[in-house]
Structure 1
């Protein structure tokens, strides 16, 4: 920008129209020169006013551009007070002269030099970025506005163009607009927009700045701080660019960062302008560029959350919602084309991880291939090994966006990011990540927080973290490229053992035969059953993946032992879809070991799964028969009892009640031959099963009598061994007694049984089977004419159960 001839974007608009274009431009130049010289001299407005013999208000008006050009004697007094040399004094007078009304042509002020002239700083060419970075910088003034911002032409920091297909982000835009609404804010308005690479932070900031432009007539500027480059723009250089964009001559730009920041704050104190600081590296780069007061709005974007940046409004962008992602694809690739393939579009958005950058690339690929069906691109992206390669078109690419952030990480944080790719769940805790990193849990958590600050990891809950799918693919690429295969195999094995040890320890807490000797447990002993249940539920993707890995590695005994530890816990989550997978692995492992008794046990577990969880009764009956033969072969009466129990249950569900009752009786005989806690439980289960057959055969009165004996036995077990399993058995038995009484339409008695079941379910920790009892209790209340009470009960129950949170999803792989 040529000295004195550049375009500003920060002048006030209060000069009268009679001043004209030339006068307005000159006044603005004079005000910026005066403010620059004062800050460079280290003087406050009060000090300069007193030294020059002018009023403080007059000096303030001069610096704000509210006068058309002070007289020569005033300029001479100011130059003297500022200690300006002859050349600078004349430049100041020329600027003042150009703002005076036409006809007044006083000569330049001549002030004896009282201080050695300062060396002028090198001039930055218009539109250039910091040396060596190749980064462009941009900003905008609004043509046609009164004052200097509308008269000086195009600024070197003009806003890049807004994108026509900008989509979504309505809530964030509304929040930012609300923040910018006030005319006289109590504090400077600074908005930090953060988030992972590819979220469209820059596009959002620029779109917001364009949207706010009519309300900020003094201009809109944008500076690329090049935070992800090898040499980010320094605060000093950024200030230099902004000051020159505001019309400060090179000679008047102070040398130091603090002086430049002071001049900048003075210039924007009363100006309504928007400054976009894009791609910030850290807090130290941003702070000097923030106004000290006034109506300006500063929008900062950064991949880092900049936690040390105080007194800012934070907007954290996330990925788009599925409908928003589809809308963006439609705006890029054409609405008809996208709406013609809704299923393929939904899958395309999912494969892009709903990340705006990836969606834009996918949309542009479709634009470049007008004959390509959306489904074909979906098929190509479905291969994970090719996805990042395909998410590149022209100068848009996902992988380099992640690469920039990755290369700026400390070495240890890079390792943690890579190892996070080994986790199996959609999210994970620091403890799980520590199993893969080989660091302590505390150290791993610290490094995970660094990744959150860098925008490469997101907090899913207060104690869980989430990798975006595309970041996970990138981390897996770096893992394969940077770590030897032998080392990775050892990492997986070590982590798998650690996770399975924890899973086994927690699972055994639900085993009625397990002694409560925490000292004998491998690894950290569970402190409470609730903690154990929570861990087993939410970390099941990890321990299930570790179970598969153990099977593939030939660690069959680990597989059998882990599944054995899980089988009593499995009663708490009958609707879970993983038990067939777990127990099929353990059956295969037992066979690989040649352990016939273990095979009998785990074939029985698999039979239970098919009958009780999957409701595939015929297959369950077949497996129960297989388990019975194996148990007979090894002479295990207890396992014969369980095989007959599962056989009878399958027959009952197929309405073959006579055969089922006979099998239940045979199972009871087998359990009677064994003196163990699980055999006592088995006898109770067979008694319950036989009573169910009676009710379903139309013999509900006999079922009630039999069930009462079963409930008495269950309560005796609760009294003797007050454990969650015993409470669960009592709850199920009381629930079934309610069903028996309901079949006889004895609704008050049924209600009493259901409420008794709920008491025991609460002691268990509200398993998913509790919902059936709540539903039946609601029916009993309605049948008694208490519909409003039923509605309140079910509404409260739904609220409470929803508050427990959704069941964790399936493993990623």
Structure 2
């Protein structure tokens, strides 16, 4: 289709000003697409109002304006005389059918709608790349877009599978041949010469406005010759590769489906009755499929083809990692086969790293850990990311991996790698994780200086590494314990003492310090065994809510005969706290006094100050507020004089503030809580900040400042760490909801608090549970 005289003069006058199509559109109020169509002769009969807007926008005067208007009239006459019986349109029959409704991709569909809108308003070729892991549903999304959006383009939609995952993908000239046939070009008019064929393809596309879906692209070199300039056209590319070498206007990384949408897809395949009959089993199947649409489709197909099966039966099959990929197979649909295609296209270095990443237990992978497994890891990681076998994390230097790809990597590791080399890599990785975790934890130690090592060079980087690599170093510790590497285990457990004070959950520290105690026992070191048992007792009473178990562990530590005053002082320290949790206030005070005396005798000021603070808490519980304030103030003063650690100071400030508030010194208590929060925030300590907010909320509530109290307690709830604090916070928030006239909110909070009570076994929690139950029954 050629241009018209009107279109040629429009382009000439626009260029003379000069103006881009977008700028002329802004001047006239016309769309960029309309101006582009007139210049290319696609609009043969412009309306009189349109012409007048163009005359004004182009600043045409007198003869030029008259001539331009006459050309527009002549175009309308030609349009009437030459209008074909039916408008030309590219057939969309090349689009595969939509076999199942696209589920869980509403956000992605909206983005594609936006891409199509951008194309219609632009004079430049618009390219959108949809990339993602094997089985993520790229083709399904593109086909749905073709059927849904094709009508927006004057010449329809053209779909072509570039066969990028085949051993021999389509060459650009063969792809051009198929596209020319889709454009309606007669076979006899298609040149045999590849370059001439591509030239004809470009000229044909230049005169059309289409949605061109190029599915399953192999690489940039395959598609670049097919990206001819055509204003108004949108080229939608799908590929397992990111295709970073293309100058794409839009990119869409197709993520895996969240759990709720995964269940929706299962429902769409199997029908609602099956899912509604076994909702928990359906959730488990969705979890084991990891949000991968291909896996979910296969799982659904297996269920529909086997009506005798329960969903629980399928979930049981998928639980076994060694069978999971074999189960996810239905006819020619196979998750393993989809992965194998991408795996076999990798270079040797990337393939080796892909396999050995199966040794990393967690879903997050850092370039530092990858470098432990293979040389040239940086290059291999980038290749794996480009092939969508790894995801790119929001954190620089880190990558993500799908659960099913982890399972597949473990299979290939067993099939393709030398067992001796694998064992050596596994040991090397474990030792590296334990070493870095130990050194990172020492940045929180008040007694042992830390050393810089690789990714950890200060307290902030150490905290970040320990959190990001938690699952990996935790599994490394378990593996070391199983391997009998007692010294490695003990050294890490010892290093974690001070870090555990403000980070991590109870179950983590129960594992760590149990392993530490066992390792110390195997090594025959009585002092270390008592020390680790003390830490274990703390995790049990403070974080796990198991004071009776904690007492048994404490008594085991106390029974060990050692000649170490500081370790003995810590034993009394933890015993005091346990007795308080068990409701034995006087016994707690007695053990607290012994702890203070022993720390003082040893000259260990950090322990003495903490023990004074804890003794004050015991005295507070026993009802002696005067001495409680006195000993706690002494601990604070000594800590300040020594220039002690900010976070330890914050902890003892909270205890003192609580006692001062109970003694009626509310303003002084608030000042100390403000100081403690400032120090915790300085070190980005969210758990410490939550403790301040919790205690401030209680003080404000007792002062009748209910609105402020509610705000503080709500903020504390999400980060509350100690075993009984969450229960107390929710119970108090329920009281505030009652006071605010919101019985529904109060009931919800009490139900949640009561459920939380079941996790803990302390007298105080049992009393609270009884009160909560009574309150629920009375309403």
- Equivalent residues in 2 for 1:708-787 (5 A)? 708-717=633-642, 719=643, 722=644, 726-781=645-700
Pick one of 169, 178, 185 that aligns with 1:248: 185
CA displacement at 1:475 relative to structure 2? 0.6
CA contact (8 A) 2:613 2:656 kept: no
Aligned partners of 2:341, 2:320: CA distance in 1, in Å? 24
Pick one of 235, 246, 252 that aligns with 1:315: 252
2:435 aligns with: 501
- Equivalent residues in 2 for 1:38-187 (5 A)? 146-149=86-89, 158-181=94-117, 183-187=120-124
Aligned partners of 1:184, 1:513: CA distance in 2, in Å? 66
Q: Deviations over 1:705-752 (max 9, x none)?
A: 2221121122223x2xx4xxx222211111111111221333212211
- Equivalent residues in 2 for 1:609-624 (5 A)? 609-624=539-554
2:620 aligns with: 695
CA contact (8 A) 1:195 1:318 kept: yes
Q: Deviations over 1:352-390 (max 9, x none)?
A: 011100000000000001121111111111111100000
2:307 aligns with: 370
How many residue pairs end up in the alignment? 648
CA displacement at 1:559 relative to structure 2? 1.0
DSSP 3-state at the match of 2:96: coil
CA displacement at 1:457 relative to structure 2? 0.5
Shift of the 382–452 alpha-carbon distance from structure 1 to 2, 3 Å rule, reads: same
TM-score using structure 2 length: 0.78
Pick one of 625, 631, 639 that aligns with 2:567: 639
- Equivalent residues in 2 for 1:344-743 (5 A)? 344-437=281-374, 439=375, 443-463=376-396, 464-515=398-449, 518=451, 523-524=453-454, 526-573=456-503, 575-630=505-560, 633-675=561-603, 679-717=604-642, 719=643, 722=644, 726-743=645-662
**Rg larger in 1 or in 2?**
1
1:337 paired with 2:274, answer yes
CA displacement at 1:431 relative to structure 2? 0.8
Aligned partners of 1:305, 1:298: CA distance in 2, in Å? 15
CA contact (8 A) 1:567 1:605 kept: yes
CA contact (8 A) 2:629 2:660 kept: yes
2:777 aligns with: none
Shift of the 509–289 alpha-carbon distance from structure 1 to 2, 3 Å rule, reads: same
Shift of the 300–763 alpha-carbon distance from structure 1 to 2, 3 Å rule, reads: closer
Aligned partners of 1:524, 1:405: CA distance in 2, in Å? 32
1:23 aligns with: none
DSSP 3-state at the match of 1:509: helix
Q: Deviations over 1:215-270 (max 9, x none)?
A: 23523222111111111110011001111232323343234444333322222223
CA contact (8 A) 2:266 2:297 kept: yes
TM-score using structure 1 length: 0.75
CA contact (8 A) 2:506 2:539 kept: no
Q: Deviations over 1:69-112 (max 9, x none)?
A: xxxxxxxxxxxxxxxxxxxxxxxxxxxxxxxxxxxxxxxxxxxx
Q: Deviations over 1:578-608 (max 9, x none)?
A: 1110111111112222222222221222122
Shift of the 544–671 alpha-carbon distance from structure 1 to 2, 3 Å rule, reads: same
CA displacement at 1:204 relative to structure 2? 0.8
CA contact (8 A) 1:258 1:288 kept: no
Shift of the 61–624 alpha-carbon distance from structure 1 to 2, 3 Å rule, reads: closer
**Structure 2 portions without partners, runs of 5+:** 5-37, 46-83, 721-779
CA displacement at 1:329 relative to structure 2? 0.9
DSSP 3-state at the match of 1:180: helix
CA displacement at 1:502 relative to structure 2? 1.3
Of residues 480-489 and 179-188 in structure 1, the stretch that sits farther from structure 2 once superposed is 179-188
Q: Deviations over 1:632-651 (max 9, x none)?
A: x2322221111111111100
CA contact (8 A) 1:587 1:603 kept: yes
Q: Deviations over 1:449-482 (max 9, x none)?
A: 2111101110122322111000110011001111
Of residues 197-206 and 418-427 in structure 1, the stretch that sits farther from structure 2 once superposed is 418-427
**Structure 1 portions without partners, runs of 5+:** 1-10, 15-59, 68-143, 802-813
CA contact (8 A) 1:430 1:448 kept: yes
CA contact (8 A) 1:64 1:267 kept: no
CA displacement at 1:484 relative to structure 2? 2.4
CA contact (8 A) 1:734 1:753 kept: yes
CA contact (8 A) 2:127 2:249 kept: yes
DSSP 3-state at the match of 2:243: coil
Q: Deviations over 1:624-675 (max 9, x none)?
A: 1111221xx2322221111111111100111201111111122223323324
Shift of the 192–655 alpha-carbon distance from structure 1 to 2, 3 Å rule, reads: same
Shift of the 576–458 alpha-carbon distance from structure 1 to 2, 3 Å rule, reads: farther
Greater fraction helix = 2
Larger RCO (CA under 8 A, 6+ residues apart): 1
Of residues 596-605 and 791-800 in structure 1, the stretch that sits farther from structure 2 once superposed is 791-800
